[in-house]
Structure 1
Amino acid sequence: MAFIGKNVIENLTTAMYEDLRIIYREYIQNSADSIDRAVRDGIITRDEAKIDIDINARKRYISVMDNAAGIPYEQFVKIMSSIADSTKDRGEDKGFRGIGRLGGISSCETLIFSCSAPGEAVLSICKWDAKRVREILVDKTQNPSAAELVDMVTEFSQKEYDEDTHFFKVELIGVEKTSEELLQKDKVMNYLRSVAPIPYATGFIFKSKIADFASEHGFTIDEYQVFVCGERIFKPYTTKLYEPTSNGQKKAYDEIVDIAFKIFPENSDKPLAWMWYGISKFEKQIPSINPMRGIRLRKSNIQIGNENTFSAHDFYFETRGCLYFVGEVFAIDEDLIPNARRDYFNLNDTCREFERLLHPLFYDRFKTIYHYANDYKKALQKQQEFQTSQSDYQQKVTTGGFLNADDKQAHETKLESQEKAAEKATKQITMRDQKGKDDEVLSRVYQALRDKYPVKSTPAKLKPLKEATKGQEYMSQKLSKFSKKEQKTISRIYSILRAILPMDTANMVINKIQEELSK
């Protein structure tokens, strides 16, 4: 008979997860499955169902509790003492390996599971001596089998309870100092807002559009009421995209103006997945201050991996491409199976087909979108720069704002260069508009960019402007109380100041001198 050693337990507990907060996801996942069954059986309604997480850092205590169906008392011992032998359905249930509940063993002194099933006046309790588990795992003198180890560290009991109460509860008692992040409420909430199967934030205006698209195509987005220390949590999607400021605050630099959808494959009665992604001006990679940046992969609305999952599996043409977008891919096919760590799928034929179907969008289309957006923005900026310089030139001519003929010539030389760049930019914008007129996404991007970088009209030609402004005064010529020789000297001083000082400083000094000499 084969001997399964104690190290199997280590692999399923202390060595399973890089981020300890993943145990919250595992327990929420199990609660979600229990809620689904309770709703199907008519025990509770979807609106009544909830998952409560309590974190008490002072007492070093954590609990995760749902109000679903629990486990009947006659099945409790068998189910809770079975490891990697889940009765769940891979095609329907979110958790199905029977190992997720062991995650807490690595982080506390005692791990307790308790529950009561509907109509049963029994409270069933399973207590794990988690500290002893870890001691045995590192003790080279003890070599029990995996089954023997479980029997050594678990204790079962039952007692009378209110038959009208039904729930399942996980408790971590004596959370270890090495697992401090599990007790940091704000960090736990931020993590769960990203990974948990919860609704979109109320302020996310596109949530109804996403729900309507899903309903229209027969897709389900599993959502549950999850509370952390009494506060309900939501996916923190917003329409604004922020960047950090120098004073430690944030400011909006872009926004999601619309969303686009895609089904994989497009024309199939049994799609593998579907997605939505935000349409913005794609001005730059989205800073990390935005918690939901990147395209997130989800199965049963539980996140798989993080914002870099698609990038890590070479979906993008260039690594930076993953951080220009916001959105979600919802895997549907039952053969798209999250691996044990839930950072990607098991590699099978369906997974490879999934990758093949998504590749054109992620690798080619996404690159085209943000590269074209950047080119279009630069073209608009060149038009704006020319118009701004034109206005500056006209004002200087009108008010006698040039230092001298050389200064005027320098402005005209700069304008001529900007004029050529603006003409080239106009052609580029026209070409992009023509090619993008039947492309809803790019058309929306270009419109958003035009709104931010408006160009009043086609920039006027420089030559007529120069001819209409001949013979105007320079700054020193306004100083009529000075002789022409003195005016030339003043003009030379102005030129020297312009040459040795930063432009803003030079202009400030020159204007001040001009003001004083005009008195």
Structure 2
Amino acid sequence: MGSVIIGKHTLESLTSGMYSDPYVVFREYIQNSADAIDGAVSGGILPAGGGLIHITLAPGEGRLSFSDNGTGIPADQAERTLISIGNSKKSARTDRGFRGIGRLAALSCCSTLIFETSYPGEPVRTRLAISGAELAAQLSSGTAEDAAAADVLQNIYTVDTLPERAEAHYFRVELEGVDQAAGLFRLEDVLNYIAQTAPVPYDPAFTWGREIESRLQKAGCPVRHFEVRLTFGPKTYSIYKPYRDEFPMDKGNTLTDRISDIELITLTGGDGSPSAVGWVARTGYLGRIPDKSIRGLRLRKGNILIGDGQTLNAVFKDPRFNGWSMGEFFVVDPLLIPNARRDNFERNQAFLLLLEQLRGVAAGITKQLRGASLKRNAQLSAALDQTGQVAKAAAAALESGLTPGQKGPLARQLTDARQLVCQAPIHSGADASSQEIAFEELDLLLGTLRGATSYKSINALNHLSHTEKRILERVFNAIFSTGSESANSMVDAILAAFAP
């Protein structure tokens, strides 16, 4: 029987082919660092909570680096471990990264990929450099099409053993010659991706975060999180999950919703033990949450995001309602295994059972948001009534001329009325039409109010700007303050001059 050859183009499939989104390099290296820190804690090398994952973006140098203070790799195992493909000693049941292919994810977007590691008690560090540029050349070459992947790798890396402090323990990844087109230096996007994907803690300002952690602890499913920092130029950022107590529901931040409670939900596996424990936020369900970083129920394994905020759309009878929802489910069943791309789980019996229970969760959310909408339908009617009263009062004040101190309170009443209409639900074309008419009326009145004066005659000069009207108001005030018998005739003459 002939020997089996794994062709060189397998390397292309394992880099640019498998990971179409270049941002996955952040997930892959962060999850490897998290596993290394867990190993250091369990081995007594680090105290609990003593781990640190540090990322550096240096766009001017075309360099991106990751480092952790985990166990590192022993010198006699480093080369074999780092250059092997799909030959990881990690367990799918306990580790976040276990297939042994993610470490090569960055080869498609940099010219050189460097690994440096040191193991406690060894006075050396291992440095292994892989040429991404040479790999690309080998893959694009028309020669040696039958070359084995192992032979290609053997020719594109170097390894060195260098002195190091015996007490040092770490693992570093450096990407040199990073392709600027990959977008890996876009600070805001990188921070947002890591905040959603990585096993980072909740923001201290998110008061429900402490409650979630407390309830998960009481449920016997504490969730591990890690300190992740990112340095960009002179500034270093601590990264947290993006959830917050209150969140905007429109681009202008005029309408907000907030979390009123957290429901803890335990899902069970075939043997009755927990398969996942999660939290679902109870909100006002005012509509689809605009912020993609917090929108949708999410699945996490080892506190690493699996998929994204749309992955669980399928468990809702109306998929759009996942966009009205917010929450996380932390998978604890070892039979639930993320697939190679980490965009979902392997489709086994444990996963099908999880989906079935998540459909029940989705049905409960749908029932709650429909109930909230029905309740708000009555609010729409009440809001429109209040809008009519406020609009009538404002129109009357504008008709007669504003008295001193009247403009501010009227503007606040009109703004509050608009907020009430905005918060009310829309379930039909009639509702939408009524809301649109109310918005237009309130916006027109607010605009008129901004330029309104205490003189009805000036307010009627619609062709003048707000500033011009206020200047005329000051002129009229000055004329009437003189007490002259000709004040009225002077004002009439000015109005005639400004008439359209």
TM norm structure 1: 0.73
* Structure 1 CA distance for aligned equivalents of residues 131 and 144 of structure 2: 16
Q: Distance in 2 between matches of 1:148 and 1:273?
A: 43
Residue of structure 1 in register with 2:306 after alignment: 304
Show the counterpart of 1:242. 248
Residue among 144, 149, 157 paired with 1:146:
149
Runs of 4+ in 1 over 6 A off after TM superposition: 390-397, 502-508
Q: Distance in 1 between matches of 2:42 and 2:150?
A: 34
**Which residue matches 1:261?**
264
What does 1:143-222 correspond to in 2, within 5 Å?
Answer: 143=145, 144-179=147-182, 181-222=183-224
User: What do you get for the CA RMSD once the two structures are aligned?
Assistant: 3.1
Provide, for residues 484-507 of structure 1, a one-character-per-residue CA deviation record: whole Å limited to 9, x for no partner. Answer: xxxxxxxxxxxxxxxxxx999999
- Does the 8 A contact of 1:240 with 1:252 survive in 2? no
- Alignment of 1:322 with 2:328, yes or no, is no
Once residues 58 and 180 of structure 2 are traced to their aligned partners in structure 1, the CA distance between those partners, rounded to angstroms, is: 14
Give the residue type in structure 2 aligned to 1:367.
T
Distance across 1 between alignment mates of 2:217 and 2:49:
18
Task: Give the counterpart letter for 1:340 in structure 2.
Answer: A
The answer as to 2:351 corresponding to 1:351 is: yes
Say whether 1:231 aligns with 2:237.
Answer: yes
Q: CA deviation at 1:388?
A: 6.4
Matched to 2:125, the amino acid is L
Residues 375 and 114 of structure 1: CA distance in aligned 2, closer, same or farther (over 3 Å):
same
Cα separation, 2, equivalents of 1:114 and 1:385: 66
- d(CA) in 1 for partners of 2:447 and 2:39? 73
3-state DSSP of counterpart to 2:274: coil
Check conservation: 1:60, 1:173, Cα contact below 8 A: yes
How far residue 87 of structure 1 moved from its aligned partner, in angstroms, is 0.3
Give the direction of change, closer, same or farther, for the CA distance of 1:390–1:56 in structure 2 (3 Å limit).
closer
Q: Kindly provide the amino acid, as one letter, of the partner of residue 323 in structure 2.
A: L
C-alpha separation in 2, matches of 1:228 and 1:396: 55
Give a deviation string over 1:397-445, Cα, whole Å, max 9, x none.
9xxx9xxxxxxxxxxxxxxxxxxxxxxxxxxxxxxxxxxxxxxxxxxxx
What code does the residue aligned with 1:368 have? K
Matched, 1:98 2:100: yes
CA distance in structure 2 between the aligned counterparts of 1:503 and 1:82, rounded to whole angstroms: 71
Q: How does 1:438-449 map onto structure 2 within 5 Å?
A: none
Output the CA distance in 2 between the equivalents of 1:392 and 1:183: 51
In 1, the alpha carbon distance for the partners of 2:370 and 2:309 equals: 21
Q: Which deviates further from its counterpart, 11-20 or 48-57? A: 11-20
SS of 2:17 mapped into structure 1? coil
Cα 1:28–1:347 shift into 2, 3 Å: same
Match status 1:279 vs 2:279: no
Summarize deviations over 1:6-50 as a string: whole Å, max 9, x none.
111111111111210111110000001110010000001122210
**Aligned-partner Cα distance in 1 for 2:179–2:361:** 45
Kindly state the Cα deviation for residue 252 of structure 1 after the two structures are TM-superposed.
4.6
* SS state at 1:175 partner: coil
3-state SS of paired residue (1:17): coil
Q: CA deviation at 1:245?
A: 4.2
Are the counterparts in 1 of residues 59 and 185 from structure 2 also a CA contact under 8 Å?
A: yes
What secondary structure sits across from 2:129 in the alignment? strand
**Contact in 1 for aligned 2:269/2:275 (Cα 8 Å):** no
Please state how far the C-alpha of 1:292 moved relative to its aligned partner. 1.4
Q: Which string of whole-angstrom CA distances, capped at 9 and with x for unpartnered residues, describes residues 103-124 of structure 1?
A: 1100111101011100100111
Deviation (angstroms), 1:89 = 1.3
- 5+ residue gaps, structure 2, are 401-419, 425-443, 461-500
Query: Partner of 1:44: helix, strand, or coil?
Result: coil
The aligned amino acid for 1:192 is I
| Counterpart AA for 2:381 | K
Structure 1 residues 162 and 316 mapped into 2: Cα distance closer, same or farther (>3 Å)? same
Q: State the aligned residue count.
A: 411
- Please list, as runs of the form range in 1=range in 2, the aligned pairs for 1:391-406 lying within 5 A after superposition: none
TM-score, length of structure 2 as denominator length: 0.76
Match of 1:480 in 2: none
Quote the offset at 1:322 in angstroms.
1.1
CA pair 130-389 structure 1, distance change in 2 beyond 3 A: closer
> Quick one: distance in 1 between partners of 2:359 and 2:191?
33
